[in-house]
Amino acid sequence: MAAVAAFLILLLATPAAYAVEYTVGDSSGWTNGEDYSTWVQGKTFTVGDTLLFTYGGTHSVDEVSKSDYDNCNTGNSIKSYNDGNTKITLSNSGPMYFICPTLGHCGQGMKLAINVVASSDNSPTTPSPPSGSTTPSGTPPTGSSGSPSPPSGGNGAASIANNGLMLGFSLVLGAILAIIS
């Protein structure tokens, strides 16, 4: 019985790691007129997390190299998706680049650059903006005023779900301990 109690205490003391699903663009999804460089700020993308791209029929998602991202080149995609509800699991650490290959969309800002960190490193990082990139017309440049950006909304649903799982897990373990005692 002491071994079971020690095991349960060890389980409680061990931090749990949960993968997070990020909906690209939050409620707006993958569409024209969004600033994905702002959306990515403050988020930590970890190996095992997923990106969910939701989009209409005029859009799709191409995973591309940094050079193709910088130049909005749609001819050399690493992977292409067009199902309107694309879920991509982040399986390797390092930078990843995504664009909409529809003519003109990438040039208007419909592109996303992220940096995926190994699951043991939780420091927020994002790739540096491409050199020579311009802000889409009609959109004020970000970060040029010298004042800090407002905090990102993050993924509150994932945090609530993780807290609920931990609470449920703790309640079950408490009940087991009470029964054993």
- Residue 79: give its domain's CATH number: 2.60.40.420
Please write the tens of the pLDDT for every residue from 28-79.
999 999 999 999 999 999 999 999 999 998 999 999 999 999 999 999 999 9
CA distance 81 to 85: 9
DSSP collapsed to 3 states, the chain: CHHHHHHHHHHHHCCCCCCCEEECCHHHCCCCCCCHHHHHCCCCEECCCEEEEECCCCCCEEEECHHHHHHCCCCCCCEEECCCEEEEECCCCEEEEEECCCCCCCCCCCEEEEEEECCCCCCCCCCCCCCCCCCCCCCCCCCCCCCCCCCCCCCHHHHHHHHHHHHHHHHHHHHHHHHHC
Domain around 23: 19-116
Contact in structure between 115 and 127 (CB atoms under 8 Å): yes
Is 49 part of a structural domain of the chain? yes
Name, in order, each residue with C-beta under 8 angstroms of 75's C-beta and a sequence gap of 6 or more.
68
Is 28 part of a structural domain of the chain? yes
Is 6 part of a structural domain of the chain? no
Is 103 part of a structural domain of the chain? yes
Is 42 part of a structural domain of the chain? yes
Please write the tens of the pLDDT for every residue from 96-155.
999 999 999 999 999 999 999 998 745 444 555 544 444 444 443 343 333 333 334 444
Is 147 part of a structural domain of the chain? no
Is 164 part of a structural domain of the chain? no
Is 93 part of a structural domain of the chain? yes
Contact in structure between 36 and 106 (CB atoms under 8 Å): no
Name, in order, each residue with C-beta under 8 angstroms of 175's C-beta and a sequence gap of 6 or more.
none
**How high is the pLDDT of residue 44?**
95
Phi/psi at 73 (nearest 5 deg)? Answer: -85, 120
- Residue 177 pLDDT more than 70? no
Split into its structural domains, the chain has a count of 1
CA distance 45 to 49: 7
Average the pLDDT over 1-5 and give the result.
57
